[in-house]
Structure 1
């Protein structure tokens, strides 16, 4: 891999630091931030400190950093995110009340899943995913849905890049993943079991716009031992269809609203 060119301007350095969090982990230590951003440790320490003081990054008790609430509030004002979240929240709340499991709403972003809203189930499996975090496509219910219904050339590019193992049951073979995604397209839902985190399973369903294109995915994340499709799938698909109707109705008057995220994955 070619060595990352060091950013020269202050703005470039700040952007490199923030972009370090878009690659993978929700939390990074200072050394990892500097390595990903291509910055000397002293420079990174100063800029990360300033970003944390301003609320753009947050330092957690273990000494690592994560995206701050101020940066998320700014990013969440993007029309594609704001419009989708506002339409989705009532349906997500109904879905939570029906299942008391974790509910997630996600879109495609830079070959990964971007979580744009999440409701945490207090009696469900603990999850570390935060709003604004990115996750792998091939290990999550929402990711498999988005990948299954993405354009074929995009799907093949993601598969060709390799499928990293995150847990014992992660699918890392491209042909096996192709078969899995074909099943998702046929059934209309995706299921994962211990593929991202041991003990956690998810089931995801597509959210469509006014043209029938899949613009987002809705999922439930539950403990593997209680992840019964007979319990989870009916309320999930009901919520996803209801949200799709709302998105389609909104799309008729504002067709540009949800186009940004779709194009980001294409």
Structure 2
């Protein structure tokens, strides 16, 4: 087995941090990254000096602002967010509900922007966070418009159930994806959270070369949700972003 490179060790340190554990001690970092304490100490020191990590008053480490600064330059997120934000804001003003923008990365939807209402339903997603494609509105849109071979790859894997409503049967999911392509809208009721309903639509490459490049959604409380009134607003916002260069 090849010896891990310095780069892979440094990336392992960064990967040790999670939403559940955003602050770690040096020993916790070493243990989670599988590194000897001396190696972890040296690399953590270098990452902290560069700004990828920060050390708080209690001696715990967290992801640094410099890393966020670099990540914000990712072209798929940066240009898309700038184009989409006016439409996201308009959609929020119409609904006063959670509005989200996501792209596909591997088998997951990555959220690149979100506007949250003070009284809107709580949701699991966050900017920079990931959720499986099969269990969310934006994810089903991104999966529905992905190449057939990619769909086969995703559906061949075990599909995680978040709630009792999460669709984990590949045949049923294929039928849902076909309906998403037919209607241009995905409605996911309590698939990832027992209290929320998501209405999502595709965002197309304005040049037409890349097909669907992102997905937009509104997430509302499931009880009493009027999906018929939400769908036209979501479609209109997604269409507006698709036409903006």
TM-score (norm 2): 0.83
Match of 2:116 among 103, 117, 120: 120
Cα pair 1:202 1:227 within 8 Å, conserved: no
Q: CA deviation at 1:90?
A: 0.2
Whole-angstrom distance in 2 between the partners of 1:186 and 1:33: 47
Cα pair 1:6 1:38 within 8 Å, conserved: no
Q: More relative contact order in 1 or in 2 (CA 8 Å, sep 6+)?
A: 1
Cα pair 1:28 1:66 within 8 Å, conserved: no
Q: CA deviation at 1:74?
A: 1.0
Q: Specify whether residues 152 and 193 from structure 1 end up closer, same or farther in structure 2 by C-alpha distance, changes over 3 A only.
A: same
How much is the aligned-residue C-alpha RMSD, in angstroms? 3.0
Aligned equivalent of 1:223: 221
TM-score (norm 1): 0.77
Q: Specify whether residues 225 and 80 from structure 1 end up closer, same or farther in structure 2 by C-alpha distance, changes over 3 A only.
A: same
5 Å matches for 1:1-266? Answer: 7-9=4-6, 11-19=7-15, 26-28=19-21, 30=24, 37-40=33-36, 44=40, 56=52, 68-209=64-205, 210-211=207-208, 213-246=211-244, 250=245
Unaligned runs of 5+ in 2: none
Q: CA deviation at 1:42?
A: 7.1
Whole-angstrom distance in 1 between the partners of 2:222 and 2:41: 41
Whole-angstrom distance in 2 between the partners of 1:144 and 1:34: 37
Cα pair 1:27 1:66 within 8 Å, conserved: no
Q: Deviations over 1:95-142 (max 9, x none)?
A: 000001111111111221111111112111122422111111111110
Cα pair 1:28 1:65 within 8 Å, conserved: no
Choose 113-122 or 50-59, whichever is displaced more: 50-59
Whole-angstrom distance in 1 between the partners of 2:63 and 2:110: 13
Q: CA deviation at 1:150?
A: 0.2
Cα pair 1:164 1:172 within 8 Å, conserved: yes
SS at match of 1:132: coil
Whole-angstrom distance in 1 between the partners of 2:50 and 2:190: 38
Cα pair 1:141 1:192 within 8 Å, conserved: yes
Aligned residues: 238
Q: Deviations over 1:155-206 (max 9, x none)?
A: 1101111211122211111111111111111111111111112212211100
Whole-angstrom distance in 2 between the partners of 1:46 and 1:194: 46
Q: CA deviation at 1:71?
A: 1.9
Q: CA deviation at 1:39?
A: 3.3
Whole-angstrom distance in 2 between the partners of 1:165 and 1:52: 38
Cα pair 2:124 2:193 within 8 Å, conserved: no
Unaligned runs of 5+ in 1: 251-266
Q: CA deviation at 1:49?
A: 7.7
